[in-house]
Amino acid sequence: MTALPGAPSSDIDNQALTPQEVVRRAIETYYSNIQTGVRVLVARAGLAEGYASIAEMSDEVFQYTIETALKIAPRFDPSHQAQSWLLGIAANKIKEIRRKNTREADHIQSVEGEDAQNESSGSDGDIEDYTTEERIDAAIYHSAHGDSLEDSSPLLNELLSLVDDNDRRILTLAYVDLLSGVELAATLGIREGAAYVRVARAKEHLRKKYLVAIGRKEL
Amino acid sequence: MTKQPNSTALLEKSIIRYVRAMDTSNLDEITAVLQIAETDAALDRIISEINSAYADELGLSPVSAQSAQVRSLLQAHFPSAFTETDEVPQLTVSQVTARLVAERLVPPTDQETSQKLLHAHIPLPAWLSLPEIRKLSQQLKVTVSDRFLKVFRDTAIQMSMGRGQAQMAATRRKNTRQSSQPGDRHNEENHDAK
């Protein structure tokens, strides 16, 4: 039995379904998740401000997403995750609207600059970012052998001393105590998604502090 | 964790990439991670969770929008119900122990000691690691089980995170009130200029 991607197998059985049917069912199943995702993307892209404006713009993007998804459904690979596929359509539409808005605001030059910046961050910048990230990962993972910080090497403590108390707590729980997203969420009394966001932000803060630190001395 | 499976490392990297892209509004990166998620069920599910977290954070989920409305009505009509303080008092051993007792998280062997700790109004260390908590218990001259130390540490972290958020909210409220003072001509002039 092949279940609809991401959905509990007991809920939906998409065996022998056409791609169109899989997409249609995915829209029904993930309706609320996709709507939330579109709202968040619209807000983060800066297309609208305030609950009402964001909701209005999101409804427009959401409607486009559904219409487009149903139109191109025959090209959808049923073994793929429909939810991310649908959000990808929405993200592309949001990019298009943002580009159009920026052009209308007569800021073409600044957009080109931004695009060039993005492109460059996709080359040299990313290499530097990922190298730094891998160095941090290696430092954290190599250091975090024991159950407590007492067992870890001075390098880990030195790395963690770069960030503030909140980030240090999060990173300790994630990389020293090796808590999963669900466990971290339970420990902090927050939702799973919020736990992932906090870990990612704490790691990003560490990466930036680390870059500053290695500018001054080698850790 | 260096020996973790590649898929786990890639999953973690994709999550961090997605959050970073969301925080910097980089739609190209968001689209790239969504493409990876199309073939990764775990990432697909986690992205959905992350989006919900952002919706809460941005006040876009129906519940957060409603609670913000209720909070704003309460602040407008019952301002005395909201404290003016920016400083949230430091968390103490007794407060964390009280939470453990209330939630019946104290292991049976530590019941007696926990009663003593209920009277220990000593601030917790800034870094709530197990060694620090163990050191604190030695300073207090109490013997407790490792299980107690761990559950104490977890609860202390949970409570301190909640306090951090409360403090930020209080500061935000204060700043909002200050910027919307009727006598604040500077703001009004700026607004008019737009």
pLDDT digits (tens, 9 = 90+) for A43-52: 999 998 888 8
CA dihedral A147, A151, A153, A159 (to 10 degrees): 40
User: DSSP characters for A5-38?
Assistant: TTS-TTT-B-TT--HHHHHHHHHHHHHHHHHHHH
Is there a domain that residue B76 lies in? no
Local structure of residue B81 (DSSP, 8 states): G
Q: Is A5 on the interface with B (CB under 8 A)?
A: yes
Contacts of A81 in chain B (CB under 8 A): 37-41, 44
Q: What confidence score (pLDDT) does residue A131 get? A: 65
Which residues in A lie closer than 8 A to residue B44 (C-beta atoms)?
A: 5-6, 81, 83-84
* Contact (CB<8Å) A95/B28: yes
Q: For B3, how many CA atoms within 13 A lie in the half-sphere containing its CB?
A: 3
Name which residue leads in pLDDT, B1 or B62.
B62
B118 and B166 in a single domain? The answer is yes
pTM over 0.80: no
> CB A6 to CB B41 under 8 A?
yes
Q: What is the rounded CA–CA span in Å between residue A35 and residue B179? A: 34
CA-to-CA dists, residue B184 to B171, B178, B187, B191, B193, angstroms: 18, 8, 6, 11, 15
Residue B26: give the domain boundaries.
6-64
Smallest Cα distance from B52 to chain A, Å: 7
Q: Phi and psi at residue B134, in whole multiples of 5°? A: -65, -40
What is the arithmetic mean of pLDDT over B155-164? 77
* CA gap B153, B96 in Å, rounded: 9
Q: Is A19 on the interface with B (CB under 8 A)?
A: no
> Looking at chain A, how many residues does it have?
219
Q: Is the ipTM of this complex over 0.95?
A: no
Stretch 96-125 of chain A: residues touching chain B, C-beta under 8 Å: 98, 118, 122
Burial degree of B102 (CB within 10 A; 0-12, 13-18, 19+)? exposed
Q: What is the pLDDT of residues A79-114, one digit of tens each?
A: 999 999 999 999 999 999 999 888 777 555 555 555
State the pLDDT at residue A218. Answer: 45
Average pLDDT over residues B122-129: 80
Which chain B positions have a beta carbon within 8 Å of A140's beta carbon?
A: 1
Please name the fold of domain A119-216.
Arc Repressor Mutant, subunit A (1.10.10)
pLDDT tens-digit map of A122-160: 444 444 555 667 777 776 666 554 444 444 455 777 888
- Look at residue A170 in the predicted model and tell me its pLDDT: 92
Pick the residue from chain A with its C-alpha nearest to B30: A91
Task: Name the domain count of chain B.
Answer: 2
Domain extents in chain A: 19-106, 119-216
pLDDT at B78: 72
| Model confidence pLDDT, tens digit, residues B89-99 | 678 898 888 88
Q: Which chain B residues have a beta carbon less than 8 Å from that of A88?
A: 31, 34-35, 38
Residue among B51, B56, B147, B153 with most chain A CBs within 10 A, to mutate: B51
The whole-number pLDDT of residue B4 equals: 47
pLDDT for B168 equals 62
* CB nearest to A91's CB, from B27, B43, B161: B27
Are both B98 and B163 inside the same structural domain? yes
Amino acid at A41: L
Residue B88 inside a domain? The answer is no
Domain contains B163: yes
Q: Give the residue from chain A lying closest to B133, CA to CA.
A: A148
Contact present, A43 and B23 (Cβ < 8 Å)? no
Task: List residues bridging with A13 in a β-sheet.
Answer: A3
Chain A residue with CA closest to B36: the answer is A84
Q: What is the rounded average pLDDT for all residues in chain B?
A: 78
Q: How confident is the model at residue A76 (pLDDT cuts 50, 70, 90)?
A: very high
The answer as to whether B183 is a domain residue is no
Say whether pLDDT at B188 is over 50.
no
Residue B94 to residue B136: CA distance in whole angstroms:
13
Does B69 reside within a domain?
no
CA A100 to chain centre: 24
The residue ranking higher by pLDDT, A22 or A6, is A22
CA gap A139, A22 in Å, rounded: 44
CB spacing of B126 vs A138 below 8 angstroms: no
Number of helices and strands in chain B (H, E) = 9, 0
Nearest alpha-carbon partner for A196 in B32, B4, B42, B126 = B42
Contacts of A54 in chain B (CB under 8 A): 60
At residue B60, the pLDDT reads 85
Question: Does the pLDDT value for residue B193 go beyond 90?
Answer: no
Asked whether residue B164 falls in the same domain as residue B120, the answer is yes
Contact flag A92-B164 (C-beta cutoff 8 Å):
no
**pLDDT at A216 > cutoff 60:** no
The phi-psi region of residue B139 (left if phi > 0; otherwise alpha if psi is between -120 and 50; otherwise beta) is alpha
Residues of B in contact with A197 (CB under 8 A): 19, 50, 53-54, 57
Could you give the CA distance from residue B73 to residue A80 in angstroms, rounded to a whole number?
Answer: 46
